[in-house]
Structure formats: structure tokens, C-alpha cells
Amino acid sequence: MLLGFNHPKVVEAVERQLARGPFYGAEHPLALEWAERIQRMVPSAERVRFTVTGSEATELAVRLARAATGKPLVVKFSGHFHGWHEPLSRGIAPGEAAETGNGRARPKAGADGAAPAGPGGEAPATRLVPPDRLDQVEELLATGQVAAVILEPGGGAWGAIPVNVEWLQSLRDLTRKHGSVLIFDEVMTGFRLAPGGAQERYGVLPDLTCLAKIVSGGMPGAAVAGRADILEHLAFGDEAWNRTRKVPHFGTFNATPLAAAAGIATLDEIASGRVLPYVDRLAGKLLQALNERLRARGVRGYAYGQASIFHVALGVDPPEGDQPTARQWQALLEAAKGASTQWLRKAMLLEGVDLMRTGGFLSAAHGDDEVEETVLAFDRALERLRKLEPAWVG
């Protein structure tokens, strides 16, 4: 959570709403206010539709894309995560796309820690592409069968596998050229990389945006925002429209009053301009210190990230510039799923710091003391790993 887990303004808003009623079972004014906040902050948000989870948001976005285009296929990228549902729960395992050829997803059962796919071992209507193969994307789009291209605009695995602005712009140009919908999964980057998310930071606007976590202030809540003509497929029309073009979407707990109250309070605090400069400064300080400790101990690897997100990759050579490139995606994906990442997390837990696999997030609840504590824990964790398995940190 960008504001931390107990921000006073969010707590106050939730308590105030709780006294009025936690659940109404019908539409309410706070939902409209919440949607208006999203419209003001997210550049591409012409309309907004609420769900309960990020997985529901990405599933709804794909259904909307298929309804709007009349096309069946979805293109996703190796290492990019979009929830647990089919057809987007595939493509996290290293090298999976390379095993299949032509970007066609034929995962082995358990390859992503997920249930086996449908008949024939395929995830129906999904095409899996390595993030460094725009030529494969264009080849698939040229078939005229692709409804949508979905991606994490900050990079796969919440930025562990970075992308660049040119890559995003190329996808924007290609999808527009071939009449496909571009979906940004901003569950992690929304309101964090900028008040308007990755699309504001990079200046590349998608057709649909999926939001969760920060958007609901820590309460269960998510949303799909984007082009009005696409979200129009949620509305009723004539008999033919309702039968062939309308996307059914129901949910008892969509946009509950408590989620709306927490979301409004959170977005207002972000819009004030106080939060992001503060957490970005902390993250920059942390990255610099982590890399200093790696160099001091002679450990192969580096810390990197963007805005208030950080990652650590052990056993990977540092890039020539400040950040890794999309060309290094396979090495970074292997590192993220490798034993060194798991053991680093366990070593950090023993030192009192809980990483989220490859790294973590800074929040407004953190300060310089927490950064220093994390750096000291990291240094001690590296020493633990050196004694346990020198090859991982040598």
C-alpha cells in the first residue's frame, strides 16, 4: 500500500462510512465520486467499471476487448502476471514461450504453479510471446485475429523484467494499426509511478487500464478504466446487441461503500502531490545503498527499480546504464525464479525484513530509519548466504 497499512485519513474515511453502513446492495454516491477521482487522475480513463480484485479486472478487460473487436485471441508476454484466471495465468515460467514456437502457449501442468489447461494442454486463445520479440507480436496482429495485447507497462513481475518507452510506444502503434485493444495492467504501477500511473509517466495511453490495490486504499476493490466505446459493451441495447455484443458483468461486492471511501481518501492524498516525491526519494536512497553493499562484498548482482519499487537480482551482471534493458529479460526472469532469490528472502526474514520475492515497495509509512534497517539486514543476509552457498553470492 502506497500510504502504508494504517494511514489516518484512510482509517477515518472507513470508520465514518462504517457508521453509515458497510454494504447497501445497490449503487451509491461514493461509487460515483470514486470513479470521478479515477477519471481525473488516469489519462485514458473515459469511463470506469468496478470489480473486486485485479484478476477480475483483467478478465473483464479481455472480455470487453473481444466484444469490441469481434476477435478471439489475446497476446500476453512471458513473465507478465495478470491474475489467476484462464487464459492469462500462463507464461510466468522461464523459457515457456521458447519451448512452443510461434508464441502458442502449451504449458506443462504445474509449470506456473497452476492447474493444467484445457484439452490438448493449451490455454485457449492465448498467444505467449517473449517481451523482446516485437516481430512475433506484429506477426500475430497481422492475422487479424487478435482482440487484445495485455502487459504490465512497468515490466513483467511488477518491474523485475523491465521494458522501455520505445517498446510501449511500438505496441501502441501496432495495436492501433491492426485494430486490436491495448490493455495496461496497472495493478502495481497505477498511482505509484505517477499520479496517473505508468501511462502518465511514459506518455503512452492504452485503450483499457486495469487497477487494484492502491485504487481501493487497501480494501477489496479494483477497476477497469478506458475508452468509452469499449466500456459501452457493458450497457444494454437492442435485442441483437444484447445477444451478440453485450458483456455481462455482475458482482455483489463491486464498489462497496467501504472500498469507495478508502479509495477516495487514498487518491486524494496522492493527488495532493506530497506522497510520490517522498517515497521516490526513499527508494533512490535504498537502491544506492543496496548496490554499495553488493560492491563492498564483491557480490555479483545489482539492485534496480523505478519510482518507489525496487528489485534485487543476484548472479546477474549489472547493466551498463542505471537500469537493465528488455534484452536481459530471460536472465532476470531466471534470477527471479532461482534459488538465490528464495534464499535471499529467507535470509532477510531472519534479519526482520520481508521481501516480496525479488524486492519490495516503499510507502509513506516508511522513513530513513526503515531504509537504514533494510540495508543493514541486507548486508547481514549476504553474509549468511556467503557461508551457506558461496556460488550464489560470489
300: domain CATH number? 3.90.1150.10
240 and 292, same domain (yes or no): no
Work out whether the CA dihedral 1, 341, 158, 297 comes out positive or negative: positive
351 and 208, same domain (yes or no): no
Choosing from 226, 242, 271, the residue where a domain stops is 271
Rounded Cα gap, residues 36 and 300, in angstroms: 47
248 and 300, same domain (yes or no): no
Choosing from 214, 240, 271, the residue where a domain stops is 271
Kindly report the number of other CB atoms within 10 A of residue 321's CB atom: 8
CATH number at residue 73: 3.40.640.10
Peptide bond into 277 cis (omega under 30): no
Does any domain span residue 64? yes
pLDDT in tens, the chain (394 residues): 899 999 999 999 999 999 999 998 888 999 999 999 999 999 999 999 999 999 999 999 999 999 999 999 999 998 899 998 877 888 865 445 443 444 444 444 334 443 344 444 445 689 999 988 999 999 999 999 999 999 999 998 889 888 889 999 999 999 999 999 999 999 999 999 999 999 999 999 999 999 999 999 999 999 999 999 999 999 999 999 999 999 999 999 999 999 999 999 999 999 999 999 999 999 999 999 999 999 999 998 999 999 999 999 998 887 766 666 656 767 777 777 778 888 999 999 999 999 998 999 999 999 999 999 999 999 999 999 888 766 666 5
294 and 341, same domain (yes or no): yes
C-alpha cell at 329: 529479460
185 and 326, same domain (yes or no): no
Rounded Cα gap, residues 185 and 89, in angstroms: 13
Q: Which tens digit of pLDDT belongs to each residue from 300-317?
A: 899 999 999 999 999 888
Q: Could you give the number of structural domains in the chain? A: 2
CB 283 within 8 Å of CB 362: yes
Reported pTM: 0.91
139 and 219, same domain (yes or no): yes
Does any domain span residue 369? yes
229 and 348, same domain (yes or no): no
Domain boundaries, position 330: 275-393
Closest to 151 measured CA to CA, from 138, 133, 142, 163: 163
Does any domain span residue 329? yes
Does any domain span residue 1? no
Rounded Cα gap, residues 271 and 162, in angstroms: 26
- Identity (one letter) of the amino acid at 318? P
368 and 236, same domain (yes or no): no
297 and 266, same domain (yes or no): no
Does any domain span residue 3? no
Does any domain span residue 162? yes
355 and 296, same domain (yes or no): yes
Does any domain span residue 353? yes
261 and 167, same domain (yes or no): yes
Strands in 346-390 per DSSP E: 359-361
Does any domain span residue 104? yes
**Exposure pattern of 117-137 as b/e (b: 16+ CB <10 Å)?**
beeeebbebbbbbbbbebebb
The three-class DSSP label of residue 62 is helix
145 and 197, same domain (yes or no): yes
Choosing from 247, 271, 295, the residue where a domain stops is 271
